[in-house]
Structure 1
Amino acid sequence: MKAVLTAFTAPQLERMNVAEILSAVLGRDFPIRFTAYDGSALGPETARYGLHLKTPRGLTYLATAPGDLGLARAYVSGDLEVSGVHQGDPYEIMKILAHDVRVRRPSPATIASIMRSLGWERLRPVAPPPQENMPRWRRMALGLLHSKSRDAAAIHHHYDVSNEFYEHILGPSMTYTCAAYPSADSSLEEAQENKYRLVFEKLGLKAGDRLLDVGCGWGGMVRFAAKRGVHVIGATLSRKQAEWAQKMIAHEGLGDLAEVRFCDYRDVTEAGFDAVSSIGLTEHIGLANYPSYFGFLKDKLRPGGRLLNHCITRPNNLQSNRAGDFIDRYVFPDGELAGPGFIISAAHDAGFEVRHEENLREHYALTLRDWNRNLARDWDACVHASDEGTARVWGLYISGSRVAFETNSIQLHQVLAVKTARNGDAQVPLGQWWAR
């Protein structure tokens, strides 16, 4: 590496300032006003939104991890500041970056000038922000991919920030999954209540039935069903979620009907359930585990019992199932996504009969919009409940995810399946039995 850098010290290669380096990679027509600690600037002075690179460390983050990971490190650490938007809601800037900015491949001579201008000091990696999880290869010490121990560590990283932090972002429902909006101007709480109703009705639940809710989070579906006379067991790998959910169950007088356990869903021993709901769990289990996952859920159901699987998906099966570096290191370690067809095939192969499927991706974009608003509104409280770096991670993650759902880069599918009786009876009405 030193020999390469020595070759780049030829006199004919001019040094470039930070803005010139950015221009060489992203073009001179960069639509956002960019300024840097060295006094250089790029983009229109009248631009509504701005980015300011405050420190050389921020440049090192960008140079040593090009793409979303380097950008995240610079932003989360506070080395990259935004203007024109709130820290908790950088959606407008994320949208511009996604729609109007394209990475260009500089000429060899320009690359040489960039390398010389950066110098060895800026190309030497530095420690990432403390909010960043270890890379995949280092997680092997926690166990094999999607082993119980490693899944528990991944869930702890993301969900055990603090219940107070999530209360500010998610609102009173404490529901960390896609809502179902009756209309675009419905409130977040109305939409989350409507989502639980939709799941409840698709499963055909009624008083006296038994429901297993795997990956139950803070127990929103558990309590919704219990309030309607259903006996429910919820399972979550987050201790803080389970503690919060059990307190709410007791507070609402639902202890005779509902229970949330701090356990792996695979450790639930009861069977013969009338229905299973899986709302936001499939993203965490890994594609290789789909056969055992759907097989396990099928074994938990009585003949004629129904499964509602609600999860984020790829728009197709041609993309990598693994999340990008930012999501993997900061948000969902070891998370994997598949196309909806892959999920349906896995359910069928496990012995389910799929009866209905629908895509709610626009609803997730609206859900993320409202989470962003909550984070921006309660920014100081969210920082107090965690730390500023964690709050920045969430602002970046929610905004970027909203753009991804809007542009059909990711989707949200509900798949309704039935464990048919031995004679093939699915025990479902002839027509759609739930209200949209």
Structure 2
Amino acid sequence: MLDASVAELFRPVLGADAPITVRAYDGSVSEPATGTPTATVDVRSETALAYLAGSPNSLGLARAFVSGHLDVDGDLYDALTAVSELAISDVSPATLATMALRLAPIRLRHRRLGPPPEEHRQRGLMHSKSRDAEAIAHHYDVSNRFYELVLGPSMAYTCAAYPDETSSLEEAQFAKHALVADKLALKPGMRMLDVGCGWGQMSMHAAEHHGVQVLGVTLSRDQALWAQKEVARRGLSDLVEIRHADYRDVTETGFDAVSSIGLTEHIGRSQLRTYFSFLYSKLRPGGRLLNHCITRPDDHHRAHADPFIDRYVFPDGELLPIGHLVSRMNAAGFEIRHEENLREHYSKTLKAWSANLEANWDECVAEAGEGRARVWKLYMPACAVGFDLNNIQLHQVLGVKLDDRGQSGFPLRPAY
């Protein structure tokens, strides 16, 4: 038996002052010390406490949520904002020790309890081709229909660029692709390499709106199959090739432009110099690279993802400070010409995806399973909170490979 109610025991995990009500399966309720509650955390069964006892951090809470033994009544974004990213990292060691002692009997009773089946553990050498392929398959080879429901018609799984506050998600994704095209100065007859091309939307945008010959490369089998069919449907097969392959296996060179949208997060700190050097080698003199990726705001934030994100969402993902990324691009030979932070845009993008998930919940569950849908239900608002609190950022960096005379080919004042 516990020597405290379940709700009282759970309160320190969320923070004593967090405006959250805790309601538990034993009938207990814990109200915040001050303020009006913004949401209610519902501890539905002892299994939720068993997950917390096994991993007294965000991973334990995520396991309880993904498995359905813990839920939130109310807006998840508001709840996560209220507890400032599940403030268990700020719980004192003494409190954690007391909780561990109280939860020990529950942990013993559930000692054979494994994590939800949606959890993924990586195997093999870090960032080897086989391990990277496994990580990409875990996240992206879920169900193309599931992603259609969440991402909407644009089928772009990266930060949009909202022209204004009232723009739709589709308008903002088009604006993002147009912005990348402008920065790369795409023109008819050019050749572009699109690494980590996803469902091929940037590749098709470059071909359809700028007459560019594009090679798009993705490690996801499902993405490649979907994109290949869409390229054919749009009548772009003479301009766009979508290849299911590791970007490191691209042998072609002499590209006028390289688009890297949402791939660098999967590369890892140790591989960055090689990554940017490889992309540099693919460009002709005067060719441009646009690198678009999630970053940390400074060196004080850890590079490795939160345990929940690492196990359930993006295995082996690393987010690095923008200064480090710019330095690595520069060291590979690129002259840096432009940089901007779009973190507010990513928060809006994630909120739009979350709204799509909620609006299509039953079909999303039918496509991917309830556990996988609950992973997305948790991680997207959690990331939106991260962008809004400036714990993570989204940067676009534009670099150029100078010619032998040091010429960049840039106008004195680019339009973007």
Q: Same fold (TM over 0.5)?
A: yes
* Cα deviations by residue, 1:246-291 (Å, 9 ceiling, x for unpaired): 1010000000000100000111111100000000000001111111
Equivalent in 236, 241, 255 of residue 254 of structure 1:
236
Q: What residue in structure 2 maps to residue 200 of structure 1?
A: 181
Q: What residue in structure 2 maps to residue 334 of structure 1?
A: 316
Mapped partners of 1:278, 1:30: distance in 2? 39
2:309 touches 2:379 (CA, 8 Å); kept in 1?
A: yes
- For the residue of structure 2 that corresponds to 1:319, the secondary structure is coil
Quick check: 99-108 or 291-300, which moved more?
99-108
Q: Which amino acid aligns with 2:62?
A: A
Q: What residue in structure 1 maps to residue 140 of structure 2?
A: 159
Mapped partners of 2:94, 2:16: distance in 1? 15
- 1:274–1:64: structure 2 CA closer, same or farther, 3 Å change rule? same
Mapped partners of 1:170, 1:365: distance in 2? 14
Equivalent in 200, 215, 218 of residue 199 of structure 2:
218
Mapped partners of 1:106, 1:212: distance in 2? 50
- 1:315–1:23: structure 2 CA closer, same or farther, 3 Å change rule? same
Q: Which amino acid aligns with 2:102?
A: S
- For the residue of structure 2 that corresponds to 1:161, the secondary structure is coil
TM-score (norm 1): 0.90
Quick check: 120-129 or 216-225, which moved more?
120-129
Q: What residue in structure 1 maps to residue 364 of structure 2?
A: 382
Matches within 5 A, 1:283-362: 283-362=265-344
- For the residue of structure 2 that corresponds to 1:169, the secondary structure is helix
- 1:43–1:292: structure 2 CA closer, same or farther, 3 Å change rule? same
- 1:395–1:100: structure 2 CA closer, same or farther, 3 Å change rule? closer
Matches within 5 A, 1:24-423: 24=12, 26=14, 28-43=16-31, 47-85=37-75, 90-98=76-84, 103-105=90-92, 107=94, 111-112=97-98, 114-122=99-107, 124=111, 126-134=113-121, 139-140=122-123, 143-227=124-208, 228-423=210-405
Mapped partners of 1:355, 1:380: distance in 2? 46
Quick check: 59-68 or 16-25, which moved more?
16-25
Mapped partners of 2:116, 2:55: distance in 1? 13
* Cα deviations by residue, 1:209-230 (Å, 9 ceiling, x for unpaired): 0000000000000000111210
Quick check: 48-57 or 339-348, which moved more?
48-57
Quick check: 26-35 or 251-260, which moved more?
26-35
Larger radius of gyration: 1
- For the residue of structure 1 that corresponds to 2:285, the secondary structure is strand
1:15 CA drift (Å): 1.4
Number of equivalences: 410
Stretches of 4+ aligned residues off by more than 3 angstroms: 23-30, 44-48, 99-104, 114-117
- 1:115–1:402: structure 2 CA closer, same or farther, 3 Å change rule? closer
* Cα deviations by residue, 1:17-39 (Å, 9 ceiling, x for unpaired): 21221235555544212111111
Q: What residue in structure 2 maps to residue 4 of structure 1?
A: none
Q: Does residue 41 of structure 2 align to residue 19 of structure 1?
A: no
List alignment gaps of at least 5 residues for structure 1.
1-8
1:283 touches 1:337 (CA, 8 Å); kept in 2?
A: yes
1:61 touches 1:125 (CA, 8 Å); kept in 2?
A: no
Higher relative contact order (CA 8 A, sep 6+): 1
Q: Which amino acid aligns with 1:149?
A: S
TM-score (norm 2): 0.94
- Aligned-residue Cα RMSD (Å) equals 2.0
Identity of aligned residues (%): 55
List alignment gaps of at least 5 residues for structure 2.
none
